[in-house]
Amino acid sequence: MNNFSRAPLLRLTPIALSIGVMAAPALAGSTTYTLDAQFDVGVLDGVNHAAPNNNQLQLNVTGTTFPVLWIANAGEDTLSKFDTTQSGASPGREVARYHTWFNTGVNSTGNHDAWSGPAPSRTAVDINGNAYVLNRHFDGRPALLFKILADGFVDRNSNGIMDTSQDANNDGAIQASEMLDLIDTNSNGVIDDSEIKDERIAWAVRVPDGTTGFPLKPGQLGRSLCIGTDGNLWVGLYSGGAYYKVSATDGHTLAGPVAVTWSPYGCLIDRDGVLWSASLSGRLGKITNTQSNGGPYTVSHFDGPSNYGIALGRAADNTTRVYLGGSGNSYTEFNSVTNTFSSPADVFYSSLGVNVDGEGNIVVSKSSGGVVKFRPADGSVIWDKPAQSGTASDSRGIMPDANNDVWQVHLGASKISKFKGTDGTALGVLNSGLSPYTYSDASGSAARTITTGTGTWTVIQDGGTAGTKWGKVSWSATVPTGANVIAEVRTADTEAGLPLLAYTPVANGVDFNQLGRYIQVRVRLTANTQNQSPIVQDVTVTSIGQLVCDIDGDGDVDRNDVNAIFAARGTRVQSGDPRDIDNDGLITVNDGRACVLKCTRTNCATQ
């Protein structure tokens, strides 16, 4: 359970959170955001300024995630991207689909069952919304890991355009013609970077580095994938009995093999950097110190009921609880303090998928279809719903979305279905690709609420003219030990151009130089391991050469600037007027007094 010691939930869910169209822009100049209405110019994602802690940003008590699902289609070797935003009777829409293996040429496989060929299954989503998908490879080839970007692209053909899969006809589903081919042009059975045509795909790498040729030893299947506290990845090979740490930046192997005493079958990492692994048997695995690239890693295991899916929660005392699917007990709970298993569910179902929603409740995917939600404190049922029409065949994965609604993955029916998070009302069904087989972190909820408690405030500011020079972001914050606040920026001459670019980190109050009419600023708050939230009191965005309160633009703040503000007292102005220091739309004595404190010469002298 998430227990941020701050104000209640303020949840926003549009797909704009992931693609970068954030809010109505402010005007040019140096603008400070500090009041509730000013923060509302931007987009709050996992943060709030709710009473009693108004006029500041803090993390939500209730966790949230991205309004996007990444579903691996094992039977056709693709990954689907779904917008989970409800639109009328439609529970969402598919907005892109990516090949995870060659779809044409000598090494292509065509459609198959979920346990043949490359067969992607495990997914993970990082705190920036980037997705990772792991091919299991039942064909004896090495496990293959992909990264798909949420922002920016790799311009491999240098045409300045993002060539990528999209719903060109806007029908809410992706056809083959709306995907970019992946062709083995040199017939070597390896995805070379030059063969990747979809420019949202950052890289595709074999795990571990240096793996050459095939077949490998039998059973070297990529069946475990999770994200650590440092943002890097851990990949488990099933019968190889080993984990590898992989760089999220470029996919190279950072550490491993870390030999384990179980067969990795799914993993998650808690806020303390402890990796917990399901095994398909009665063994729960544990690896500590995953934030290190060099170890030492302590490996241990605990024998209990058989398991399949895995989820993590946090108890009231902030300790980790591990939830396991895969038995007739609905779910098994493991207490990380007492190292004991229990079966607290009030009703027992055969289940494979298990997850935790933003409020810490346990959601279980009934194998025959349908979903049940349990309270973590005592296993009592919050709601219990049957399968939606046409979906009750081999149901596995389950995950919450940004609105805390619940999605179920139906391998046998090649569909995904949505249930209302509050009461389980059936919200509809969407077609996926062939044999969807995702039961891991497909929305980023684990990365954002369990592994790393985090949220963002994002704003777009309009410089008014193309090529505006931007140069400083500064903020005031109270940051508990172990927590942090960071800011990132990107600039473009059009708002539409912003999501095509990656963010660049900037330091508090330190000059940088970026050009573009629009600047997009993303401020990220991250809690410490005790769930204590940082508090951001204000954020100021400044163009190069302009100081806050430098009304006459002569590069300093003096009596002339202060007098110009006092002379305009009582004047109503548009947002961004340099004289309106608190940006409340009215020039008052408070604006003048604020600038007296910012004078760059003693006694505000003009010389």
The DSSP line for 550-563 is -TT-SSS--HHHHH
Residue 544 vs residue 345, higher pLDDT: 345
List the structure tokens of 21: 């169209």
CA distance 164 to 156: 11
pLDDT digits (tens, 9 = 90+) for 377-391: 999 999 999 999 999
Q: What is the pLDDT of residue 546?
A: 55
Does an H or E element contain 102, and which?
Answer: none
Residues 6+ apart with CB under 8 A from 500: 151, 152, 153, 162, 492
| 510: Cα separation from own chain's centroid | 27
pLDDT digits (tens, 9 = 90+) for 198-220: 999 999 999 988 665 555 444 48
Task: Provide the phi-psi class of 369: left if phi over 0, else alpha when psi is between -120 and 50, else beta.
Answer: left
**Contact assessment for residue 546 and residue 488, using Cβ atoms and an 8 Å cutoff:** no
Does an H or E element contain 457, and which?
Answer: strand 454-462
**Contact assessment for residue 133 and residue 123, using Cβ atoms and an 8 Å cutoff:** yes
* Mean pLDDT score, 410-434: 96
| 245 φ/ψ angles, rounded to the nearest 5 degrees | -95, 130
Angle at Cα 210 formed by Cα 207 and Cα 212, nearest 5°?
90
3-state secondary structure of 284: strand
pTM: 0.85
Q: What is the pLDDT of residue 570?
A: 94
pLDDT digits (tens, 9 = 90+) for 308-360: 999 999 888 889 999 999 878 999 999 999 999 999 999 999 998 999 999 99
Residues 6+ apart with CB under 8 A from 603: none
pLDDT digits (tens, 9 = 90+) for 146-197: 999 999 999 999 999 999 999 999 999 999 999 999 999 999 999 999 999 9
Q: What is the pLDDT of residue 553?
A: 67
Residue 594 vs residue 464, higher pLDDT: 594
3-state secondary structure of 565: helix
CA distance 419 to 430: 12
Hey, what domains does the chain have and what are their CATH numbers?
A: 16-62+453-546 (2.60.120), 68-451 (2.130.10.10)
The overall average pLDDT reported for the chain is 90
**Contact assessment for residue 330 and residue 372, using Cβ atoms and an 8 Å cutoff:** yes
List the structure tokens of 525: 């708050």
